[in-house]
Amino acid sequence: MLTTREELDDRLPGAARAWLDEALAEAAHATDRPDTGTGTPDRPDTGNPPSGTGTGNPPWETRFASAGRHCGTEHADAVRALLLIEARPAAPDLARLYAQGTAAERRAVLLTLHRLDLGSAALTLVEDALRTNDTRLVAAAVGPYAAAHLDAHGWRHAILKCLFTEVPVEAVAALADRARGDAELARMLHDFAAERTAAGRPVPADLRTVLALTATPAAAPTEES
Amino acid sequence: MRIFDPHIHMTSRTTDDYQAMYDSGVRALVEPAFWLGQPRTSPASFYDYFDALLGWEPFRASQYGIAHHCTLALNPKEANDPRCTPVLDALPRYLVKDSVVAVGEIGYDSMTPAEDTALAAQLQLAADHGLPALVHTPHRDKLAGLRRTIDAVRESALAPERVLLDHLNETTVRDALDSGCWAGFSIYPDTKMDEDRMVTVLRNHGTDRVLVNSAADWGRSDPLKTRKVADAMLKAGFDEDEVDKVLWRNPVAFYGQSGRLQLDIAAPDPLHEGNSILRGGE
């Protein structure tokens, strides 16, 4: 669960709060002209980072990149999520932001997807993250957005990926709902357990947790995501 | 003992190296962007490399308890290849990233006009982004290259105390320190410098503004050379505080000028009494 603006205001020191106010104001004008670093008649160049750094992207994106050093790495996910929610980038812009992002920025995008009314347009970002072996990205990818939009095959492989990379399955949103009555997932888990046992290696405790969930009969479909 | 390797190319190293470095006391490092041995043929190849220095490599380092930061730049060799120079236009969007603590490696390889242009442009980028610069000094014609490098720094908007001149040796250390820049020494198995010569340099020139690195990469090199220098210093009579200054506090002070170092490392007693967490540019 991401920290709210009110909680952040309580935790951030004064300078960081002021920085966040300015950053959110810039995000609210996300469609402004790109930051060319040279200034324009109606937007003078201050020559002072983070504005005026000539990235070619909207100024709020420079705020997005620099959230860690201005607000502390422990608050960076929450700050970046607030900026995304304020800026509401369209799916192509969000894909570019993700592609140009550090691992920390990509994680923040993944954690916020379900708050951005994107439909299934951002599914490629989840798929990209699930191809990595960076557990911070894998864990962020299996949130509510993945639960709502990953197809059955992709979702089952996401579960296996968590087990392989030791991402705790508590990170998986709607785990019980999607696992319930999933005979194919149960087969995959049994096969994985057999492979581990044959190798003399321990079977992850999380595997048994998920396996137990698959044994519950499927309920009628719901709107829940 | 805590060690900060201010110049090491971990992309070229194994997880065994990470483990051995941790076991030797390495708790933080800076990985400068450089040549890959095999020449690149397009800017996109740089972008994937930069992304790895901002994504996968810090993750690998974190698995072994080591804080990873990077410096980004178009390196001196490839500044001569017109297929690669468009990287300069993309650098601004990379230089705003949280874990980028300097522009680098920049500098001279063969001292060509193209290298002059790239060096000047990137010193300016460092000034624009509030970053220090890591400047490689050339392996061939080193003293002339160092002097030309110092001239380029003087002509730039970057103050000398925000510049680290690297790969120095006995013939270049005096000019480098006199320029007001920081002085970096790469300790190699065969070339550049070895640990005993490094101790002599420290005896003759002191420990102020001096950094020691392994510069380990895909060539014959040793990621534990920082520790070996620390051991050689102790054996030669330097005390633990002096070792900590050269192997930890000096690199923290230099890269801390970026305001972007994130080091949550327990400090050894009694050097920083009452302060168990060192963070930012402290």
Quote ipTM for the complex: 0.90
pLDDT value of residue A34: 58
Contact between chains at A104 and B98 (C-beta distance less than 8 A): yes
Examine residue A110 and state whether it is found in any structural domain, yes or no: no
Examine residue A193 and state whether it is found in any structural domain, yes or no: yes
Examine residue A159 and state whether it is found in any structural domain, yes or no: yes
CA dihedral B140, B142, B144, B149 (to 10 degrees): 110
Examine residue A100 and state whether it is found in any structural domain, yes or no: no
- Pure H helices in chain B: 15-24, 43-54, 56-63, 87-95, 113-128, 142-154, 173-178, 195-205, 225-235, 240-244, 250-256
Taking the domains of chain B in order of start, what are their residue ranges?
3-278
Domain shared by A47 and A7, yes or no:
yes
State which residues form the domain around A73. Answer: 1-88
Q: What is the pLDDT of residues B81-120, one digit of tens each?
A: 999 999 999 999 999 999 999 999 999 999 999 999 999 9
Distance (Å) from the alpha carbon of A134 to chain B's nearest alpha carbon = 7
Reported as a pLDDT band with limits 50, 70 and 90, residue B264 is: confident
Q: How far apart are CA A161 and CA A138, in angstroms?
A: 8
Distance (Å) from the alpha carbon of B249 to chain A's nearest alpha carbon = 20
**Which two structure tokens, joined as six digits, stand for A194?**
């057999």
Q: Which DSSP string do the residues of A70-121 spell out, in sequence order?
A: HH-HHHHHHHHHHHHHHH---HHHHHHHHHTS-HHHHHHHHHHGGGS--TTT
CB A69 within 8 A of CB B98: yes
| Cα–Cα separations (whole angstroms), residue A220 to A211, B30, B109 | 20, 54, 69
The backbone torsions φ and ψ at residue B66, rounded to the nearest 5 degrees and listed phi first, read: -120, 130
Contact between chains at B92 and A54 (C-beta distance less than 8 A): yes
pLDDT value of residue A45: 40
Examine residue A106 and state whether it is found in any structural domain, yes or no: no
Domain shared by A124 and A219, yes or no:
yes
| Cα–Cα separations (whole angstroms), residue A163 to A72, A181, B129, B245 | 31, 19, 42, 44
Comparing A103-117, B46-60, B183-197, B259-273, which segment has the lowest mean pLDDT?
B259-273
Examine residue A35 and state whether it is found in any structural domain, yes or no: yes
Mean pLDDT per 10-residue segment, chain A (225 residues): 86 95 94 53 41 77 97 96 96 97 98 96 98 97 98 98 96 97 98 97 96 84 52
Contact between chains at A103 and B92 (C-beta distance less than 8 A): no
Locate the chain A residue with the closest alpha carbon to B50.
A102
What percent of chain B has pLDDT above 70? 94
What are the respective helix, strand and coil percentages of chain A, to the nearest 5? 65, 0, 35
Measured between beta carbons, the chain B residues lying within 8 angstroms of A73 are 98, 262
Q: At what angle do helices A103-112 and A91-99 cross, to 10 degrees?
A: 150
CB A103 within 8 A of CB A133: no
Domain shared by A81 and A139, yes or no:
no
pLDDT value of residue A33: 53
Examine residue A124 and state whether it is found in any structural domain, yes or no: yes
Q: Which DSSP string do the residues of A193-222 spell out, in sequence order?
A: HHHHHHTT-PPPHHHHHHHHHHTSPPPPP-
pLDDT value of residue A53: 67
If you ran DSSP here, which 8-state letter would residue B86 be given?
A: T
Positive/negative CA dihedral, B14, B18, B19, B25: positive
pLDDT value of residue B50: 98
Among A22, A29, A31, A59, smallest CA distance to A44 is for A59
Reported as a pLDDT band with limits 50, 70 and 90, residue B265 is: low
| Cα–Cα separations (whole angstroms), residue A55 to A64, A82, B191 | 13, 21, 39
pLDDT value of residue A4: 87
Distance (Å) from the alpha carbon of B133 to chain A's nearest alpha carbon = 17
Neighbour order of strands in the sheet with B3-5 = B3-5, B26-32, B67-72, B100-107, B133-136, B163-166, B182-186, B210-213
CATH fold of B3-278, please? TIM Barrel (3.20.20)
pLDDT value of residue B266: 44
The backbone torsions φ and ψ at residue A2, rounded to the nearest 5 degrees and listed phi first, read: -80, 150
If you ran DSSP here, which 8-state letter would residue B39 be given?
A: P
Q: What is the pLDDT of residues B170-192, one digit of tens each?
A: 999 999 999 999 999 999 998 77
Positive/negative CA dihedral, B119, B125, B127, B132: negative
Q: Look-up: residue for tokens 């009969």?
A: A217
What SS3 state is found at B256? helix
Among B66, B68, B48, smallest CA distance to B58 is for B68
The backbone torsions φ and ψ at residue B181, rounded to the nearest 5 degrees and listed phi first, read: -80, 170
Distance (Å) from the alpha carbon of B59 to chain A's nearest alpha carbon = 7
pLDDT value of residue A220: 62
Nearest to A53 among B59, B99, B129 (CB): B129
Contact between chains at A66 and B259 (C-beta distance less than 8 A): no
Reported as a pLDDT band with limits 50, 70 and 90, residue B281 is: very low
Mark which of A32, A65, A88 sits at the end of a domain. Answer: A88
Domain shared by A125 and A187, yes or no:
yes
Q: What is the mean pLDDT of residues B51-80?
A: 97
pLDDT value of residue A88: 95
Domain shared by A123 and A84, yes or no:
no
**Residue among B15, B49, B72, B97 with most chain A CBs within 10 A, to mutate:** B97
Peptide bond into B105 cis (omega under 30): yes
Q: How many domains does chain A divide into?
A: 2
**Residue among A100, A107, A125 with most chain B CBs within 10 A, to mutate:** A100
CB A133 within 8 A of CB B62: no
